[in-house]
Structure formats: structure tokens, C-alpha cells
């Protein structure tokens, strides 16, 4: 069974920060509003669309975004290290 980012987020408590790495996520629309202070490491996001997501305080390390779309996304005090857009 393939785990999608949406599946992972649906199992996340609202106040819990997401810490995830070594994943590839394909062709999803994510419209969850609480991903503040999350850590994304070594992740490929391909064909992803993020709508209304709050990424404030999140860290993206060694991530690749291919054919992505951000719509009404909040991003303050984020860290991007070795990220390819």
C-alpha cells in the first residue's frame, strides 16, 4: 500500500508537528491548515498542490518540488536548506 501525504496528515493530531523524511509524494492536493513547525527532510514533492496551508516555522531540508503549486499558503520564518524548485 502506498502512503500518501494526505494519509499521514489525516493521522496527525492538530497540535502535533509533522517530522517526516525519505519520502516521495505524487499528484496530491493538500488543503490542511496546520503544518506549522514541521520538519521535511529528503522529500520529493511532484505534482503537488498546497491550498491554504500554514507552513510557518517549518524546515525543508534536501527537498525537491517538481510541478508544484502553492495557493493561499502562509509561510513565515521558514528554513530552506538545499531545496530545489
Closest CA to 48 of 18, 32, 70: 70
Task: Give domain limits for the chain.
Answer: 5-81
Q: What cell was used for 68?
A: 508544484
Closest CA to 75 of 23, 65, 6: 65
List per-block mean pLDDT (blocks of 10 residues) for the chain, which spans 85 residues: 85 84 96 89 97 93 95 89 91
Give the separation between CA 84 and CA 4, rounded to whole angstroms: 21
**What value does the CA radius of gyration of the chain take, rounded to a whole number of Å?**
12
Amino acid at each position: 500500500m502506498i502512503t500518501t501525504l494526505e494519509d499521514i496528515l489525516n493521522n496527525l493530531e492538530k497540535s502535533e508537528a509533522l517530522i517526516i523524511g525519505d519520502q516521495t509524494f505524487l499528484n496530491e492536493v493538500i488543503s490542511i491548515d496546520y503544518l506549522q513547525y514541521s520538519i521535511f527532510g529528503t522529500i520529493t514533492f511532484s505534482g503537488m498542490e498546497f491550498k491554504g496551508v500554514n507552513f510557518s516555522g517549518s524546515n525543508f531540508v534536501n527537498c525537491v518540488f517538481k510541478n508544484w503549486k502553492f495557493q493561499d499558503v502562509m509561510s513565515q520564518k521558514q528554513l530552506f536548506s538545499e531545496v530545489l524548485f
